[in-house]
């Protein structure tokens, strides 16, 4: 059944000035970012104990990979998984060799957020096709990098050896380490905590009930924000500006990678960076080819959090953080310079999106299979 169209925004009915539409867009983006933080908090409440238990007793690399994926899915943050792994390595709880597959798994797990975000477009066929392809091209790139780098690492230990060598070159004084707090992350994190406190203290909910309500609220906020962000983006972005943006990002891939890395360092979350691209892709403002290098930059930028944390974790912690950086950097060098490989994640994502458009069960099967079933089987079979 076709859903009735949403009522027009005031900006659409009355043609409000551009600055007013920009303010509306900023408010909606703030709502969206708050929803992302709420979703992360809800997943942490649902899965923090299970995620913590996952890290113990990992020896098989495939089990470690599965743990990295599932732990990141549970806490909705590769930074949390990476920081936990860095701390465990630094304290001697797990070896560097055992931690390397976990770091690779964290890269896979983190891309579930923008895949879930793309569900906000599911009632609009063309928007959903573009948005779902934009989300899953990140997944396919990470899976391609994993398919190449994991066998090489298991056979040669290249990443670990390179990271150890780099560690010896870096004069890392553990006592001199500092920590960077993103103002954006701190602000929305504080707002999310107030909402969580209201749910637990005022409404009297706790445990799974509180987490379930917060997750539902976050999903509703994401859907509402995305629907109206898409409309405002269309009114703000004239065709000439759209072409210019696509031309700059599409032809200057290195610049787009740098932009993605800087954005991710600023908000300390690759999930936020890549998720912010989804409404632009869904609205047709940004092409897949132009957005792809930004996601690669986000992959690279997210390693900064681990590197900062590693400076306080000793040489072993720094080594595993450098493994994360090298893995993402080498993945870019292996895929992006070669046109055939660079276009492959985009084509795979478009093919999956076309199938998902014909049958929504492809969406369920994909998300459940990649982010839940595959890592669970990996843990059960290899742990």
pLDDT at 219 over 50: yes
Residue 177 above 60 pLDDT? no
DSSP helix/strand/coil, 75: helix
What is the CB neighbour count within 10 angstroms for residue 4?
6
Residue bearing the bigger pLDDT, 57 or 45: 45
More confident residue, 80 or 95: 95
Give domain limits for the chain: 15-382
Q: What percent of the chain has pLDDT over 70?
A: 75
Percent share of the chain, pLDDT over 90: 7
pLDDT in tens, 115-163: 888 887 777 888 889 989 988 998 899 889 888 888 888 889 899 999 9
Q: What is the pLDDT of residue 347?
A: 93
Q: Token pair for residue 363?
A: 């969406």
Residue 99 — very low, low, confident or very high, per pLDDT cuts 50/70/90? confident
d(CA 193, CA 197): 6
User: Six-digit token pair at 372?
Assistant: 């839940």
Under the banding of pLDDT at 50, 70 and 90, the label for residue 222 is confident
Alpha helices in the chain, H assignment, sequence order? 10-14, 18-54, 61-75, 78-90, 96-109, 112-117, 125-156, 158-169, 183-197, 207-236, 239-251, 253-267, 270-282, 288-301, 303-310, 314-335, 339-358, 361-368, 374-382
> Which of the 8 DSSP states describes residue 5?
P
pLDDT digits (tens, 9 = 90+) for 344-374: 999 999 999 999 888 888 888 888 888 878 8
Q: Is 347 exposed, middle or buried (0-12, 13-18, 19+ CB in 10 A)?
A: middle
Give the model's pLDDT for residue 76.
67
Q: Of 108, 113, 88, 95, which is closest to residue 149 (Cα–Cα)?
A: 108
Would the pLDDT of 2 be above 70?
Answer: no
Residue 379 predicted with pLDDT over 90: no
- The single-letter DSSP state of residue 55 is T
Q: Is the pLDDT of residue 95 over 70?
A: yes
Asked if residues 279 and 291 have their Cβ atoms less than 8 Å apart, the reply is no
């Amino acid at each position: 059944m076709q859903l009735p169209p949403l009522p027009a925004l005031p900006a659409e009915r009355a043609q409000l000035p551009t600055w007013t539409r920009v303010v509306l867009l900023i408010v909606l983006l703030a709502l969206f970012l708050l929803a992302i933080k709420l979703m992360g908090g809800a997943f942490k409440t649902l899965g923090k104990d299970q995620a913590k238990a996952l890290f113990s007793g990992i020896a098989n690399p495939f089990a470690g990979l599965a743990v990295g994926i599932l732990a990141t899915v549970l806490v909705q943050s590769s930074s949390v998984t990476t920081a936990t792994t860095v701390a465990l390595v630094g304290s001697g709880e797990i070896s560097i060799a055992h931690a390397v597959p976990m770091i690779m798994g964290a890269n896979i797990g983190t891309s579930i957020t923008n895949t879930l975000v793309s569900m906000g477009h599911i009632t609009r066929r063309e928007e959903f096709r573009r948005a779902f392809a934009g989300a899953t091209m990140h997944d396919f790139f990470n899976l391609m990098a994993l398919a190449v780098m994991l066998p090489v690492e298991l056979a040669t230990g290249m990443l670990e050896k390179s990271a150890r060598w780099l560690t010896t070159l870096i004069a890392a004084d553990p006592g001199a380490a500092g920590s960077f707090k993103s103002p954006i992350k701190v602000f929305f994190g504080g707002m999310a905590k107030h909402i969580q406190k209201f749910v637990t203290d005022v409404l009297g909910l706790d445990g799974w009930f509180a987490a379930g309500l917060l997750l539902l609220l976050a999903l509703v906020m994401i859907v509402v924000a995305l629907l109206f962000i898409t409309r405002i983006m269309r009114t703000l972005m004239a065709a000439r500006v759209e072409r210019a943006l696509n031309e700059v990002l599409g032809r200057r891939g290195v610049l787009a990678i740098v932009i993605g890395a800087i954005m991710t360092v600023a908000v300390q979350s690759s999930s936020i960076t890549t998720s912010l691209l989804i409404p632009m892709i869904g609205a047709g403002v940004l092409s897949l080819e132009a957005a792809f290098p930004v996601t690669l930059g986000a992959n690279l930028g997210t390693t900064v959090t681990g590197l900062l944390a590693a400076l306080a974790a000793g040489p072993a912690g720094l080594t595993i953080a450098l493994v994360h950086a090298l893995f993402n950097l080498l993945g870019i060098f292996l895929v992006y310079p070669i046109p055939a490989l660079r276009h492959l994640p985009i084509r795979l994502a478009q093919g999956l999106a076309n199938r998902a458009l014909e049958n929504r069960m492809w969406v369920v099967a994909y998300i459940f299979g990649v982010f839940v079933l595959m890592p669970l089987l990996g843990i059960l079979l290899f742990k």
